[in-house]
Amino acid sequence: MQEASPSHPPLSRWLVLLMAITTGLAVASNYYAQPLLHTIAESLDLSSFAQAGIIVTVAQMGFALGLLFLVPLGDLFEQRRMILIMMLLTAIGLLISANAVGLPMLLVGTAITGTFSVVAQVLVPFAATMATPEERGKVVGTVMSGLLLGILLARAVAGALSTLGNWRTVYWVAAMLMLVNAIVLYRALPSHRRSAGLSYARLLISIAELFVRYPLYRLRTALGFLSFGMFSAFWTSIAFLLSAPPFGFSDATIGLFSLAGAVGALATRQAGKLADLGQSRLTTWLGLTILVVAWGLLGAAPYQVVVLLVGIVLLDLASQAVHVTNMHLIYSLDSGARNRLNAGYMTSYFLGGALGSVSSAALFDRFGWSGVVGLGLAMALTACVLWSAYGRRVPHDA
């Protein structure tokens, strides 16, 4: 579908950078707990890995609910004000978590944070709308780089702050950063409102209609569900592996492993550029193939740290290449429904993440690391089969 160039001035580099930083800070709020799960479990007297893993699952379920019920509002309301309110509520959730005296209170704070940190997913289609069509893939890739770095660096930062103070320190610092960033972004963002002319209920129903209308949307959403399920399965359980013998690593050391995955952020811009050039099939095939290879390497993680690091790089690089390609194609389907397209896709994406998190924690409890690897490999192979069956049948020149 052809789209006219936007009437507003093109996005400046510094504003794109600011939006990337904001998405990173927002989405990081859901991942600070991952390298600290064993520490939180000890602090709150939790009895099993599965109980600790529910913290990550609640964050991702909250995010999925926010995606489904809040992100579509970007097609109705003025987005700058909406972004500020959501960032303030995210900060409140972080403050509740920082003061949690037990698991129920921590889960309440986590749920609030997860639900309103979907502000990151209001910013991504906002950036896509403000960008010119010929640069949309690059702009989305840049903003997604910030989102990916937020997911990955959250673990390293959380580990370091926990070592300097304790796990509550992480939430205090995160809340303050969110408040400061909200003020800066509100002053920098242009006012923007693009009403879909629908009631809220009709807006939600229209998300289901988008799935019916576009086969490409269904296929890309399924691939996103599986790719983030793998990603979350790994990062939820890796802290359990690395904190136990023979490793026995501290929170700070466990957090540093996420820096290896930061290399994957480089794939987002390159995948976006390839998508701009019409090479979405190539990036998808490469991404899915590398995911299978990555899980094969991660199977050796308990025996060789170097192999683990290589597996992390490949897992993050491939999953983000597939994700950015998915988003570029989805945003091209209907310029007037980008928030709803994003809501449907990202809801499924984080439901996949929630499934991966809760399943990997339970499998690690029962089967150890081999159970997590079996889950990840099964999801990777399922994605390859799905792409082989339907990739050529669905037109990709959205």
User: What single DSSP character describes residue 169?
Assistant: H
**359 within domain boundaries:** yes
- The rounded distance, in Å, linking the Cα atoms of 354 and 208 is 21
How far, in whole angstroms, is CA 172 from its chain's centroid?
22
Model confidence at 154: pLDDT above 80:
yes
- CA torsion sign for 247, 253, 254, 258 is negative
Higher pLDDT, 199 or 40: 40
Query: 108 CB contacts (<8 Å, ≥6 apart)?
Result: 96
The model carries a pTM of: 0.74
pLDDT at 60 over 90: no
Asked if pLDDT for residue 196 goes beyond 60, the answer is no
- 322 within a domain of the structure (yes/no): yes
Q: What is the DSSP string of 16-69?
A: HHHHHHHHHHHHHTTTTTGGGHHHHHHHTT---HHHHHHHHHHHHHHHHHHHHH
Is 5 contained in some domain?
A: no
What does the block give as tokens for 247? 């490793």
Residue 8 lies in a domain: no
Q: Which residues contact 222 (CB under 8 A, 6 or more apart)?
A: 348, 386
pLDDT of residue 98: 93
pLDDT for the residue numbered 288? 94
Q: Which tokens in the block code for residue 230?
A: 């793998």
199 has a pLDDT exceeding 70:
yes
| Spatial contact of 30 and 117, defined as CB atoms under 8 Å apart | yes
Proportion of the chain above pLDDT 90, given as a percent: 28
Which pLDDT tens digit goes with each residue over 294-340? 999 998 877 788 888 899 889 988 888 888 888 888 878 887 787 78
What local confidence, expressed as pLDDT, does residue 109 receive?
Answer: 95
Domain assignment present for 4? no
Please calculate the CA angle 211-324-13 and round it to the nearest 5 degrees: 125
pLDDT at 217 over 50: yes
Q: Which domain holds residue 333?
A: 13-190+198-390
Check: CB of residue 373 under 8 Å from CB of residue 299: yes
192 contacts 287 by C-beta, under 8 angstroms: no
395 in a structural domain? no
CB 163 within 8 A of CB 40: no
> Whole-angstrom Cα distance, residue 111 to residue 32?
14
Looking at the structure of the chain, the number of domains it has is 1
397 has pLDDT over 70: no
Contacts of 202 (CB under 8 A, 6+ apart): none
Q: What is the pLDDT of residue 93?
A: 96
Contact between 250 and 154 (Cβ < 8 Å): no
pLDDT band at 3 (very low <50, low <70, confident <90, very high): very low
Mean pLDDT of the 56-81 span: 83
Structure tokens at 134: 């010929």
Instruction: Report the CATH number at residue 162.
Output: 1.20.1250.20
Query: What local confidence, expressed as pLDDT, does residue 290 receive?
Result: 93
- Tracing tokens 């025996």 back to the chain, one arrives at 303
Q: How far is CA 388 from CA 84, 219, 234, 281, 384, in A?
A: 43, 11, 25, 11, 6
Measured between alpha carbons, how far is 179 from 333 in angstroms, rounded to an integer?
35
Residue 397: inside a domain: no
Query: What pLDDT, on a 0 to 100 scale, did the predictor assign at position 2?
Result: 38
In a 10 Å sphere around its CB, with 0-12 CB exposed, 13-18 middle and 19+ buried, how is residue 257 labelled?
buried
Residue 132 in any domain: the answer is: yes
Q: What is the mean pLDDT of residues 189-216?
A: 80
In Å, the largest CA–CA distance within the chain is 59
pLDDT score of 91 more than 80? yes
Sign, CA torsion 319/322/324/326: negative
**Is the confidence at residue 67, as pLDDT, over 60?**
yes
pLDDT tens sequence across 164-179: 888 999 999 999 999 9
DSSP 8-class letter at 12 = P
Q: Tell me the C-alpha distance between 133 and 4, whole Å.
A: 8
Rounded distance, CA 50 to CA 215, Å? 37
